[in-house]
Structure 1
Amino acid sequence: MKRLTTFRSQFDFQSIRWKDMIRWFPGHMHKGMKDLEESLLRIDGIVELHDARIPHSGRNPELYKRLVGGHKPHVLILNKSDLADPNYLNKSIEYIQIEQPNTQVIHTNLMSIDLKELTNIFGRLLQQIVESPRYTRSSTLEYNIVVCGIPNVGKSTFINKLRNLFVNKRSCEQVGANPGVTRTMSEKVKISNRPKVFVRDTPGILEPRLKSANESFRLLLTNSIPIQQRELSDIIADYCLFLLNKYDKQRLYMKYCELDRPTDDILTVLTAIAKLKHCTQVYGNKRGYDLTGAALHFIHEISKGTFGQITFDQDILDEMEKEKSNDTNLFRTNTGRIKKSI
């Protein structure tokens, strides 16, 4: 689709006090990180879960540095890959392994994962653990794994799937559609008898201070942090529209909103949704469109993939690809100069 010159090239974060509007680092996160560090000597491997749509945003570098540090087997599962742009799945793996070359990265969708894929993930993790030095735990016959990552990314779902598969037990970890369901580090749960493997769930952990407005808003779009103020929903919805236009994803939102052309005006989109979904509210003695309700609906729809498969960190991965291409061209140029001088 031909891009319109009226589309914004940058989102205006300057006019909003996003740092005051997005503050979500509950006390259980700090305690969760502390408990994780204290349990390191009893852990043989770490499974980190993250959202495939944001392979960069929200990943806690302190989590990797303090828990993994290159010494513990580490598998990173990028969940909800069915909602991410398939053209960026391999790029996201490449991006992560530049910084963490020893990390195994796996894309999946835990809600529809099949027996073969789940067995493969467990096998790869177990192989890493068996082949790695166990130091003080070398005489222990059982293996302990900890599952960690950002909130609401599927950690408890992953544990329940493994438990159902390998020990034929019912789900034991509570799951929910909102972030913050798991609030404490769980007791050991057996997920395999041969070999004997135990796993512990942890509360979702974010950085105490999010690095940028882009990162914060992308965590909101993936429901990794909750929208705590309804008035923030209008701004987040506008950011949704900005990304859909930026990544050339206009067709599906035009169809959904019954628009005859793309738009950069969020009021046009929200009014269309309010009409179609009958979002109304009483203002004084009159009933009018509930644009805040329409904004929340729009955010929910983009989060569940109604407007197509989107990698929200696409711009970051594109920048990495550009830098890689520039480095390759520079190498070729320098190689050519050397050959000529010879």
Structure 2
Amino acid sequence: MSIQWFPGHMNAARKEAAKTMEVIDVIVEILDARIPEASCNPLIEELRQARQRPCLKVLNKADLADPAVTQAWLDLYNRQPGVSAVALSCQHAGDAARIPRLCQPLAPHRNSIVKPLRMLIMGVPNVGKSTLMNALLKRRIARVGDEPAVTKVQQRHKLNDRMTITDSPGLLWGTIKDPRVGLLLATINAVGHTVVDDEAVAEFLAGILLARYPARLSARYGFAVEGLTSTGVIDAIAKKRGCLLAGSGGALDRDKAARILLADYRDGTLGRTSLEKPGTEAEPQAGPA
């Protein structure tokens, strides 16, 4: 399954970002700490390498991710030239306030009224860029929503006499050819509902949870997971939650059950989980779907 989802404003955003990158000093790339590699847009890396700009990689929503796995990602990124990485939650004002200070060492020559530090926030949709902007500016200037493509245009703001920051729309690449990456992005709602089927995403997620965090499923939904496939997890949730299709004589509403699992994962109800580790593929589905 490849995903093609490139709304018109994203194409414009790519061109605008390439132009803006000429006059900024540091890229602040917001990643989802649960899927750092999948939420790392290769277009952003391509643009920043072309302009030789340093990057602060922010593993946002770290409070929802497995802390040991997050540390492994930080170790990896902090070894890369021109890159610094930090894990935090932009929901917390104190965490967000650290970001400009962490950017400064990446461009030490930009630290005055004459030469202010110019930062550009980038990332795929729904990783928390707007939440970060609101926290940094201490006012609601960007609309926040648990859906992709909320921000449509670049917005530049002055943090103080020595720093400016520009927010940019969530940016995906034109065709996501790797089905694993597409499904990982779908688990965090970085692509629209019309592009990928909720049941397929939920079964993919269930497979990873079965392999790595089976106790979380048992604790949340109250069923034993031994011997279950990813399809079986969706069926078991439907039975436990009474998800039945109206007028079907008791047939399971798997779509509703899938949405329950996805919602519980996205809001952290299932606990701190990470879906990919450095240097490895996501865990395969446990048994046939």
TM-score between the two structures when normalised by the length of structure 2: 0.87
Contact persistence 1:242–1:264 (CA under 8 A): no
Q: Deviations over 1:175-225 (max 9, x none)?
A: 111011012222x22222x42x22221111122222411111110111111
- Larger CA Rg, structure 1 vs 2: 1
Distance in 2, Cα, partners of 1:152 & 1:204: 7
- Please name the residue that 1:234 is paired with: 199
- Please name the residue that 1:159 is paired with: 133
Give, in angstroms, the shift of residue 274 of structure 1.
2.5
Q: In structure 2, what residue type is equivalent to 1:128?
A: L
Distance in 1, Cα, partners of 2:231 & 2:105: 53
Distance in 2, Cα, partners of 1:29 & 1:297: 30
- Please name the residue that 1:42 is paired with: 23
Q: In structure 2, what residue type is equivalent to 1:45?
A: V
Contact persistence 1:70–1:102 (CA under 8 A): no
Distance in 2, Cα, partners of 1:145 & 1:189: 10
Distance 1:52 1:145, change over 3 A: same
Secondary structure of the structure 1 residue equivalent to 2:126: coil
Instruction: Say yes or no: does 1:62 pair with 2:36.
Output: no
Secondary structure of the structure 2 residue equivalent to 1:157: helix
Distance in 1, Cα, partners of 2:69 & 2:272: 10
Secondary structure of the structure 2 residue equivalent to 1:308: coil
Distance in 1, Cα, partners of 2:97 & 2:256: 42
Q: In structure 2, what residue type is equivalent to 1:301?
A: D
- Please name the residue that 1:108 is paired with: 88
Give, in angstroms, the shift of residue 53 of structure 1.
1.1
- Please name the residue that 1:208 is paired with: 174
- Please name the residue that 1:191 is paired with: 159
- Please name the residue that 1:174 is paired with: 143
Distance in 2, Cα, partners of 1:139 & 1:250: 54
Deviates more, 1:302-311 or 1:200-209: 302-311
Distance in 2, Cα, partners of 1:70 & 1:185: 19
Contact persistence 2:187–2:202 (CA under 8 A): no
Q: Deviations over 1:113-134 (max 9, x none)?
A: 253x4343221213333336x9
Give, in angstroms, the shift of residue 295 of structure 1.
1.0
Distance in 1, Cα, partners of 2:279 & 2:64: 17
Structure 2, gaps ≥5 residues long: 282-289
Contact persistence 2:89–2:96 (CA under 8 A): no
Structure with bigger helix share is 1
Distance in 2, Cα, partners of 1:150 & 1:159: 15
Q: In structure 2, what residue type is equivalent to 1:85?
A: D
Instruction: Say yes or no: does 1:24 pair with 2:5.
Output: yes
Contact persistence 2:216–2:270 (CA under 8 A): yes
* Percent identical: 26
Structure 1, gaps ≥5 residues long: 1-17, 165-169, 320-342
Secondary structure of the structure 1 residue equivalent to 2:69: helix
Secondary structure of the structure 2 residue equivalent to 1:205: coil
Correspondences of 1:1-342 after superposition (within 5 Å): 18-19=1-2, 22-69=3-50, 71-98=52-79, 100-111=80-91, 113-115=92-94, 117-131=95-109, 140-164=114-138, 170-186=139-155, 188-192=156-160, 194-195=161-162, 197-228=163-194, 232-247=197-212, 249-283=213-247, 286=249, 288-314=251-277, 316-318=278-280
Distance in 2, Cα, partners of 1:260 & 1:51: 30
RMSD: 2.5
Q: Deviations over 1:300-322 (max 9, x none)?
A: 212223333222112x4458xxx
- Please name the residue that 1:14 is paired with: none
